[in-house]
Amino acid sequence: MITTRRLLLGLGAAVVLAGAAVGQAAPPRLVTVASTTSTVDSGLFNHLLPRFKAKTGIEVRVISQGTGQALDTGRRGDADVVFVHARAAEDKFVADGFGGPRRPVMYNDFVLVGPKADPAGVRGTRDIAAALRAIQTKALPFVSRGDRSGTHQAELALWTAASIDLAAARGAWYREIGQGMGAALNTASAMNGYVLTDRGTWLSFKNRGDLTIVVEGDRRLFNQYGIMLVNPQRHPHVKAADGQAFIDWVLGPEGQKAIADYKIEGQQLFFPNAGDAGA
């Protein structure tokens, strides 16, 4: 009887100790990154994140949004890191005290995509402003993301560079969809229309239909990405240490090499430039 009681007491103590050990187990380390649809749709994060987790044990959850929405997510404190591509909007985010410092990560470029028949007559040219004027003059179908993304902001700046007032010039030919890059490309493919896209998403896009690149190489099509930690003083729940660990890895040798190594059909999608402080 005494032996049985001792055995039961010992088992009970073991269960209590095991429960305490479970209760004291460290929670999984998780960082939330608000980033652009282009980094997700291109497959870049699927390439980067397993390498980062293997190195640090930190898991990354990505919220895929246009740049404007991603920065809003950071402003609300619903992300630890923002990884976007609209320099003026990024600088305002930092100036308003929502995060920073802003650091360059990588770049690629935008391209104008359109039907192979090219009714605008711009295929093979390098002047994006002239191409947009031709599209507007002929009222050819043009698909705009219309979502405050970095690509949308770049598109609006290019219409301005082409001396076209969209408020006055837009009509049925100009279609805003309020969605991401993949949806915009799908819409352009279905309409046989023109659309501005980042090269990374275009290279990974499969439903091209009759679309092809018609304008590329204009210096105004340069597309720089930046990364920032959300301000933990404004939002104390921000995982500052682990968020900074992700930033440091992306900007460091391993992350920059992983970005450079990401290719589709032999073509490099993004070009690391963390060392270029002015980018």
Which CATH number does the domain housing residue 143 bear? 3.40.190.10
Do 149 and 242 fall into the same domain?
A: no
Shared domain check, 61 and 50: yes
* Whether residue 229 sits in one domain with residue 92: yes
Which of residues 134 and 276 earns the better pLDDT score? 134
User: Are 124 and 200 members of one domain?
Assistant: yes
The answer to which of 51-60, 134-143, 269-278 has the lowest mean pLDDT is 269-278
Q: Which two tokens stand for residue 230?
A: 């959300």
Domain that holds residue 215: 109-221
Cβ atoms within 10 Å of 213's Cβ, excluding its own: 15
Res. 20 pLDDT band, cuts 50 70 90: very low
Higher local confidence (pLDDT), 185 or 6: 185
Asked whether residue 11 carries a pLDDT value surpassing 60, the answer given is no
Question: Does residue 205 register a pLDDT over 60?
Answer: yes
Q: How does 172-208 read in b/e, with b if 16+ C-beta sit within 10 Å?
A: eebbebebbbbbbbbbbbebbbbbbbbbbbbbbbeee
| For residue 14, pLDDT beyond 90 | no
Query: How many angstroms separate the CA atoms of 240 and 246, rounded?
Result: 10
pLDDT of residue 24: 63
Are residues 241 and 209 part of one domain?
no
Shared domain check, 233 and 193: no
Q: Total domain count for the chain?
A: 2
Query: Mind listing the pLDDT tens digit for each residue in 176-191?
Result: 999 989 999 999 999 9
Q: Is residue 167 a contact partner of residue 175, using CB atoms and an 8 Å limit?
A: no
Tell which residue, 80, 105, 101, has the closest CA to residue 245: 80
pTM: 0.85
Q: What pLDDT score was predicted for residue 277?
A: 83
